[in-house]
Structure 1
Amino acid sequence: MNDSRPCTLDAITGHHARCRPDHPAISFEGTEVGYRELHRESNRSAHALLGAGLERGARVAYLGKESARYYEIAFACAKSGTVLVPVNWRLTAPEIEHILRDSDTALVFAEREFLDTLARLRPDLGALRTVVALDSEQERGAGFTAWKTGHLDTDLTVDATPDDAVAQVYTSGTTGAPKGAVIAHRSFFALGESMRQGGLDWVDFRPGDRSLISLSGLHLAGLNWSMQGFAAGVTNVVMRSFIGQEAVRLIREAGVTTTFVAPAMLQMMLDEPAATAQSFASLRKVVYGASPISEALLSRCLEVIGADFVQAYSATEAGNAVALLPPGEHVPGGARLRATGLACPGVEVRIVTEDGREAAVGEPGEVCVRTPARMLGYWKNEEASAAAVVDGWLHMGDAGYLDADGYLFLCDRVKDTIIVAGANVYPTEVEEALGRHPAVAEAAVIGVPDETWGEAVHACVVLREGQEVSPRQLMLSLKGAIADYKIPMSYGFVDALPRNPTGKILRRELRTRFWEGRRTGIH
């Protein structure tokens, strides 16, 4: 590695403050913040954190929508040796309480609209000492600004190492209560380093790039993307929250060149009337991930958006991408469009069967990875950490297989697998087949109890506007497309599918009413 290249988050802003002080680091709602300004203000906030009595390793939460201040605070945490705990503002009060209590958060930065919620929760949060109100545009001089005023803007020396904790990100909680994955500095640099080691430009940043942070930085995928952009010294275009119309406008007017999105975001952008090829003319690269993408949507993206596409596969616990599907595989009708990708340089992927052996080529099993970006562990949960990481291998919780060339193909989440009379049915395969019907906008497939077969396949279907179709018509359309035992025996039509903030379908919510009153979620 080049010795001058930062390898911990605390070193990023100082490096670019020296190399390109006036280059915009952040563009947010019409205002740009240069790297020198970001460095000085994050220094000031870091001094204020230490002045508040926080010690190294103390947890600092952020509760609010995205803004330039969020990234200033993120760097301030790194510079003070404290650990950032991003809190999704869409969560309910009990969910917020769980994160603040579980993380032993000592200080919370909160936007005004969440202060009442914090006031109600605070008596039960013994570790919480300080709440700092974030300024609104109309309240400069109060709250956050006043809190850091008077503190130095000089550099701090924390002597951080790549293995030190810098963030604690809570899992989306698709099963059980969310757990705090403790992330080290090294996780944020692993992908860029692996690309350099492999001589690859599948995921890259160039000096003049303007990177749109579409996936929220309050989740590890978005935070990872933004920090890679900051590390490269590019301009990061920040949205308070993702809106398809606003994203299309920003890409066009701000000259966005690269972004990382979830497939649902691509769908929302392409559904906008302003989404023409000209609107996306500045884009050179689109990285997508966080949930599966349908072949129909990907084909539409390739037709409208004239950019290189790269699929990234990861998980919060993995710390960074573990596999990538390169641009060269993204061609209409390409043989590997359904693949997840190849392991990143320095990352190992293997498939493990239910009986613990390594699967043969083409044989499905659980995906396990060994990656230098892996989390340090779950906060205060050694049992869950030991179950997730065995002998250095992270169990991803996904079912998949490797082909003869090492390409990874995912079948589904292990826990989402439906077992019909002893045969595994992977929902994604059925959902893709349903998505090819012209009346279907999207579908989610779940297992429901069946007295004869143990489980039966049920499809929750969202229809395209103005379209009608019967369950029988859908069933007949699947004949010959997938094996008979995979074809849903029942169908329900819904207006929308429940999703978590990163766009993943919450099949557990769809299953609840079918399994209510049963001891377990399997028959």
Structure 2
Amino acid sequence: MRAQTSPAYPQALIDLLERSGDRPCFEHGSRIVTARQTLATIRRLVAAMRGAGIGPGTGVAMLPGVSPEGFAAIFAAYAIGARVSAVRPGLTAGQFAHLLTGGIDAVVFDPAVANRDLVTLAGSIPRYSLGSHPGATDLLAGGLPSGDADPGDEPLVAAGRPDDIARITYTSGSTGQPKGCAATYGALAADWTCAPDRWSGAMARMADGLDRCLLFGTLSSPVVMNYVLLSLFHGGVAVIPDQTPQPFFPAVIERYGITGTIMTVPRLYQLLDVLDEHALDEHPFDVSSLRSVMVSGSPLHPHRLADATRRLGPVVFQAYGQSEAGSLTLLTPDELSASGQAALDSVGRPHPEVEVSVRDDQDRPVPPGTDGEIYVRTPWQTSGYWGDPEQTAEVFVDGWVRTRDLGHLDGDGFLHLVGRSRDIVIVNAMVYYAGPIERVLALHPDVDEAFVVGVPDERTGEAVHALVRPAAGRTPPREQLTALVRDTLGEGSVPAAITFIPKVLAAESGKPDKRAMLARFGEAAVPCEPAVPRGEAAVP
């Protein structure tokens, strides 16, 4: 693999902001924030954090808002070499409490988005806010820097050490508690995102459409952050809506003249459905500004990708990646046009610095066209799961990452996914393990056994379907079951439908056969009403 020669992370971003002067970087509603102002805010936050004793190796739980200040806070923490644990929306109090046990020395949050109960859970851990908040020290006390920030300030030099952990990204875990994918400063510096000289033609083609990049959702997502960085290094501006027009997609694209965005598969489906519904209106939605639409997070059905290309034009890109390994493949509109069905059925070709090995169940490489488990190796992959050596040893093997996905490489180098080797459901691009949901459902006194499967859902990609065998003579209220899951694991784990089953069907191995039970009893499913409309969680 490529030797590490990059400067300390995030020095490339600091240098970009330094030389970009008054070039707009963020458009936050009516507010324009320049590169000079962004760097000045990072400097101020670096000084405030250092004054609070935050430095190399300090564990910081970060709850940022979608704002220029949230962006600056994350990169200020990186600039001083802290260990940043990104807190994603939707964590329950128990999950956040678990995260805080992972070596957290300080909590930094945006008062506009932080749940008061979650902040309170920090207890004696020092709390710092991006704006005034009771019980917290305001890191931005005195207001934001003006456009006349002193250009003679001492140069800001990134202090992160290559082998130190820079970022911990929490994902759903098999125990019900989030697990943290830990990336070093060396790994983040090795990523191609902040190095335009290493962009392949496909990457440059994608970045070329990010002149006005829609920023929404959460900056806790490395995927979202990477596309903001791509836009900035391309010379674009990150557009943060101050309003949420409905339907969010496609209205936000038309209102703000968006040229590029990243979205999950369910979001793409919603966008296409709304465009079709309003196609015959006197004034249909205008999305002709789009030049780069990146779709990722879960499998995109080939016929839907073809439909998206037909409806939006040659602007749709598809990517495949994982929290453990980062971005792995890219499928471009040009490849779709040139390679037809072979490309349409794939998730694209691996990035130039990504190694892919497809192996059989004896860990032996298989030839092109043969399905097996996909292993990957990248310069920017994470080093393991924070505080979990057992799972680290299972997934990170001899320098390779086991994706637990099944598929094959074809003769043209396209990667095709055919299934998964782990028991998960991907809802709105978030991974949820079936095991924790099954265990929580089985805690109800009226439940004998519970099984969870993923079923296709055009709103969310997949949906959680629970197969519940009631205890003898009892009928558990569905609303109690969904509330139990919601309170324990969070909204994303709540079943979209529950089927009561009279018996458990077994496979030849003797193990419960979930798919057989779904096929036999699934027609009796009853939809469950979510507390939050499904598919809407990512809207700011």
Does TM, scored on the shorter chain, surpass 0.5? yes
Give unmatched runs, 5+ long, in structure 2.
Answer: 426-452, 468-503
Match in the other structure for 1:412? 419
Equivalent residues in 2 for 1:202-217, closer than 5 Å: 204-206=206-208, 209-214=211-216, 216-217=218-219
Q: CA deviation at 1:164?
A: 4.7
Higher relative contact order (CA 8 A, sep 6+): 2
Aligned match of 2:111: 111
Aligned residues: 452
Query: Counterparts of 1:417 and 1:362 in 2: how far apart (Å)?
Result: 25
Residues 82, 233 of structure 1: alpha-carbon distance in 2 compared, 3 angstrom cutoff:
farther
1:435-456 Cα deviation digits (max 9, x unpaired): 8xxxx99765879741354414
Is the 8 Å Cα contact of residues 109 and 128 (structure 2) preserved in structure 1?
yes
Q: Deviations over 1:471-499 (max 9, x none)?
A: xxxxxxxxxxxxxxxx7763355557989
> TM (normalized to structure 2)?
0.72
Mapped to 2, the partners of 1:131 and 1:404 lie a distance apart of 53
For 2:315 and 2:161, how far apart are their aligned partners in 1? Answer: 35
Q: Do the aligned partners of residues 202 and 501 (structure 1) sit closer, same or farther apart at CA in structure 2, a change above 3 Å counting?
A: farther
Structure 1 residue 281 displacement after superposition: 0.9
Corresponding residue for 1:346?
Answer: 353
In structure 2, C-alpha distance between the alignment counterparts of 1:203 and 1:381, rounded to whole Å:
39
Q: 1:414-448 CA distances to partner (integer Å, 9 max, x unpaired)?
A: 11399xxxxxxxx99x849xx8xxxx997658797
Q: Which residue of structure 1 aligns with residue 188 of structure 2?
A: 187
Cα distance between partner residues in 1 of 2:17 and 2:122: 38
CA deviation string 1:488-513 (max 9, x = no partner): 763355557989999799xxxxxxxx
Number of the residue aligned with 1:258: 260
Partner-residue secondary structure (3-state), 1:57: coil
- Counterpart position of 1:145: 140
Code of the residue aligned with 1:196 in structure 2: it is R
Amino acid at match of 1:187: L
| Superposed displacement of residue 65, structure 1 | 3.7
CA distance in 2 between partners of 1:307 and 1:61 (Å): 40
| Change beyond 3 A, Cα 1:390–1:218 | same
Is residue 234 from structure 1 mapped to residue 257 from structure 2 by the alignment? no
Distance 1:50 1:459 in 2: 57
Whole-angstrom CA distance in 1 between matches of 2:243 and 2:178: 22
Q: Which moved more, 1:451-460 or 1:303-312?
A: 451-460
In 1, distance between residues paired with 2:229 and 2:517?
39
Structure 2 CA distance for aligned equivalents of residues 500 and 171 of structure 1? 20
Aligned counterparts of 2:413 and 2:269: Cα–Cα separation in 1? 30
Classify 1:207/1:452 alpha carbon distance in 2 versus 1 (closer, same or farther; 3 Å): closer
Partner residue, 1:177: 177
The aligned residue for residue 96 of structure 2 is 96
Alignment-derived partner of residue 508 in structure 1: none
Partner amino acid, structure 1, of 2:42: S
Distance 2:180 2:68 in 1: 24
Report the equivalent of 1:60: 60
Of 510, 513, 523, which residue of structure 2 is paired with 1:491? 523
Residue 290 of structure 1 is aligned with which of 297, 312, 336? 297
Match for residue 308 of structure 1 among 311, 315, 325? 315
- Partner of 2:408: helix, strand, or coil? strand
1:48 counterpart = 2:48? yes
CA distance in structure 2 between the aligned counterparts of 1:38 and 1:290, rounded to whole angstroms: 29
Change over 3 Å in CA distance of 1:39–1:302 after alignment to 2: same
Separation in structure 2 between the aligned mates of residue 502 and residue 204 of structure 1, nearest angstrom: 29
RMSD of equivalent CA atoms: 4.1
Structure 1 portions without partners, runs of 5+: 419-426, 461-486, 506-523
Give the secondary structure class of the aligned counterpart of 1:61: strand
- In the alignment, the residues of structure 1 paired with residue 196 and residue 72 of structure 2 have an alpha-carbon distance, to the nearest angstrom, of 27
Instruction: Report the Cα offset of residue 67 of structure 1.
Output: 1.9
Residue deviations 1:125-157, cap 9 Å, x none? x6x223325359xx9xx9443178899965433
The AA in structure 1 aligned to 2:131 is L
Q: Given residue 72 of structure 1, which amino acid in structure 2 is its aligned partner?
A: A
1:274-285 → structure 2 map (5 Å cutoff): 279-285=286-292
Distance 1:174 1:297 in 2: 31
- CA shift, 1:322, in A, is 1.0
> Within the alignment, does 1:457 sit opposite 2:515 as a pair?
yes
2:207 aligned counterpart, secondary structure: coil
Matches of 1:492 and 1:275, distance apart in 2 = 34
Aligned CA distance change for structure 1 residues 356 and 100 (closer, same or farther; 3 Å): same
Length-normalised TM-score, structure 1: 0.74
